[in-house]
Amino acid sequence: MPPAQIIREDGAYHSFCGLTCVGWLYQKIKDSFFLILGTHTCAHLLQNALGVMIFARPRFGVALLEETDLSKQQPELATMINEIRAEHKPSVIFLLSSCTPEVMKVEFEGLAQKLSRPELPVLFVPASGLDYTFSQAEDSVLQALIPFCPLAPADDKRVVFLGSINDTIADDFALEAAQLDLPVGGFLPASRFAELPAIGPGTILAPVQPYLAKVANRLARERGATVLSSLFPFGPDGTRAFWEDLAMAFGKQVDLSEREARAWSRIEAHVELLRGKKVFFTADNLMELPLARFLRHAGCEIVECSSTYINKRFHGRELAALEGVRVVEQPNFDRQLRDIAELQPDIVISALATTNPLIGQGVVAKWSTEFAFMPIHGWAGIGTLAGMFTKSLRRHSQLDALADPVWTAGLMPSTIPLQVRRPTITG
């Protein structure tokens, strides 16, 4: 099938800053600490976005930099790291660089190397909001971990699942692999620093997150690993293709068509609501291609699927599955607003900064950041995934129902038929 054509508009990002990947990664890598080299702006963002109470002893913190003279006012990082070591006893510290060092060209990578000890590595991670969306920054973190993955011998053929998923979903993947008799080398990232998987020329890398093109390419280049080319394991269609292709990479032909059919029937109530709905993705989390493909198979019409970054090779199978759909890389949001007003989608999947204004205009809009935090992968995640879309549609229809009596009680002539609210945005 020919892939969907990609239109590139070079629009501005509206995504969450890369630093917010800390929100799920510090929970995933349980013996880690994330130290952010940032300003008050970064600290505010993390406090607001992650909202962790101080008594929860979160394993992340901000080393405050003064923007006026960064080179003279660098924090005493060595002292801070000693304090972190004493208080949290991490096995690894990630030093996340923010916009300010980037703009002022202050280089912290060498400093991280100096602070690093064999018993406690300090790993430099570029994650500024200038260059990275919140999901892409996970790619940066995983790249920093590459040197700590042992080299697997060439004849050791195992699958390594690439991308952070919560422990329950990871157990589901390990169980599924065991049922298909596929040898598992581990997960990157692993739950503990000492459990990083061995990766070598025999490794089959199976990406479970669509925003990890760079780390996958590096592992292919530097370790000779093979990157599985398949759909990402979202929805019954994606999950079936993922496991069938993975089995094929180990020389096993499996037919999961019945399993897929059962999975679709399990979410039939959701599919009924989704069928025929027009969906518009404005670009944010880099998960847009597989999410749009799932919705299309569920009977939706994808009026636009935009994403911040598209890699023709890494996303090749998803692009093929979206043939005929308008796919845009780095879209222009002003143009999108005009199209939303004209095309009147039933639901818009949008970034945090733009979702609430859209809702204020009467558009059914879903905050796309949420998809990065939810267990929506594999067979176990199918119900959650479908429910995330239908919840927004149901909630909106309930809000309309609540609003109707107010209108009919006097603000609106009772003879005017009730209408589904539609976008009223003007360009």
Q: Which residues bind ligand SF4 (CB under 6 A)?
A: 17, 19, 38-39, 41-42, 45, 98-99, 128-129
Identify which of residues 17 and 142 has a Cβ nearer to ligand SF4 in the complex: 17
Identify which of residues 128 and 282 has a Cβ nearer to ligand SF4 in the complex: 128
Identify which of residues 38 and 236 has a Cβ nearer to ligand SF4 in the complex: 38
Write down the least CB distance from residue 3 to ligand SF4, Å: 32
Write down the least CB distance from residue 125 to ligand SF4, Å: 12
Helix (H) or strand (E) holding 143: helix 136-145
Other CB atoms within 10 Å distance of the CB of residue 280: 27
Write down the least CB distance from residue 185 to ligand SF4, Å: 34
Write down the least CB distance from residue 40 to ligand SF4, Å: 9
Do 390 and 366 form a contact (C-beta atoms < 8 A)?
A: no
Helix (H) or strand (E) holding 104: none
Residue 37, beta-bridge partner list: 63, 97
Write down the least CB distance from residue 352 to ligand SF4, Å: 13
Identify which of residues 17 and 289 has a Cβ nearer to ligand SF4 in the complex: 17
Q: Give the whole-angstrom CA distance, residue 183 versus residue 365.
A: 41
Identify which of residues 17 and 190 has a Cβ nearer to ligand SF4 in the complex: 17
DSSP conformation class of 210? T
Q: Where are the alpha helices (DSSP H) in 324-376?
A: 333-343, 352-360, 370-373
297: amino acid identity, one letter = H
Identify which of residues 29 and 42 has a Cβ nearer to ligand SF4 in the complex: 42
Identify which of residues 80 and 393 has a Cβ nearer to ligand SF4 in the complex: 80
Give Cβ neighbours of residue 110 (< 8 Å, ≥ 6 apart): none
Distance of CA 25 to the CA centre of its chain: 11
**DSSP helix/strand/coil, 226:** strand
Write down the least CB distance from residue 334 to ligand SF4, Å: 21
Identify which of residues 99 and 141 has a Cβ nearer to ligand SF4 in the complex: 99
Report CA Rg, the chain: 23
Helix (H) or strand (E) holding 140: helix 136-145
425: amino acid identity, one letter = I
DSSP conformation class of 146? G
Write down the least CB distance from residue 24 to ligand SF4, Å: 16
Write down the least CB distance from residue 42 to ligand SF4, Å: 3
Nearest position to ligand SF4, beta carbon = 129
Place of tokens 């996340």: 96
